[in-house]
Structure 1
C-alpha cells in the first residue's frame, strides 16, 4: 500500500472540511520535496503524453525543471497540460475511453 504523505493528508483534510469549495491556498503545501516525491511516484514505464515526453526524458532534467515548475505554479503562470484520450477496444466491438495524462500516469 502506498504511504500517504503528511502534506497529502493535510490537503485531503482541508478538502473534507470545506466540501464544494475550491482549494485556492495550496501554495503553502506545495514545495520542491513534494514535487520530487510526486514525480518519483509516477509510472516510469507509462506512455508519453500530448507533448510526446516520457518519464525518462523529464527525469534527465528534473533538477532544473522542477524548481521552474514550482515557480510557475506559485506565480500563477502554470497551466496543466492537455490530456490525451485513448480508446481501448472491448470484446463486444465497442470502445472504452482511457485517459492518458502527460505524466504517463
Structure 2
C-alpha cells in the first residue's frame, strides 16, 4: 500500500471518500464499545474536495468576505493549505460573522456565518464523525440525521410511546474522549 500512497503530505490513498467513510462506519458498528482517539488521518485532499463540493456555494461569506467561487478559483492550493494547517494543528477557525435575521414579531434572530474555508473543514469533520455516531442511533431516531429530521419521526415516536414503550434515549457521547482530536 505504501507504494500506491507515496510519502507526499496530503496525498490521498487510492480509496474513495465513501469507501473510507464506510470502513469507519463498519468499525464503529462492529465495536460499539471502542473509543476512537483519532479520526483526523481520514481527512486528506480528496476528502476536503468532496467536503467542498458538498458545501453550499450560494451561502453568505464570512468575515473574510471570500465567496465560494473565489475560493474555488485556486481550490487545490487553498485546500492543500487548509489540510497542512489542519494536520499540523496550526489551523485556527477565524471569527464568525454575526448577522441578524428579522423575525415576524419585530425582533431579530442572531446567526453566525463562518468563512467558506471553515465551512469546508466543518463539513469534512462532520462527515467522519457522522460515520461513527450514525451507528449509535436507533432506526426510530430522526432528529438531526442525514435524510431524516424531527418532522419525519414525530409519528414514529408517538407510536412507540402509545404502545407503552419508552421514547428513544439520546445517544451517549462517551465514545469520543473530551478534547481529543488526535492528528497522525
2: CA distance between counterparts of 1:90 and 1:33? 40
Partner residue, 2:109: 96
Cα distance change on mapping 1:101 and 1:24 into 2, 3 Å: farther
RMSD: 2.7
Which sections of structure 1, spanning at least 5 residues, go unmatched? Answer: none
Which of 1 and 2 has greater Rg? Answer: 2
Task: Quote how far apart the aligned CAs of 1:6 are.
Answer: 4.8
TM-score, normalised with respect to structure 2: 0.45
**Deviation (angstroms), 1:80:** 1.5
Residue matched to 1:45 = 58
The size of the alignment, in residue pairs, is 96
Corresponding residue for residue 54 of structure 1:
67
When residues 7 and 87 of structure 1 are mapped into structure 2, their CA distance, relative to the original with a 3 A threshold, is farther
Match status 1:33 vs 2:46: yes
Q: Deviations over 1:53-98 (max 9, x none)?
A: 0000000011111112111111111112221121111111111122
Runs of 4+ in structure 1 off by over 3 angstroms are 4-9
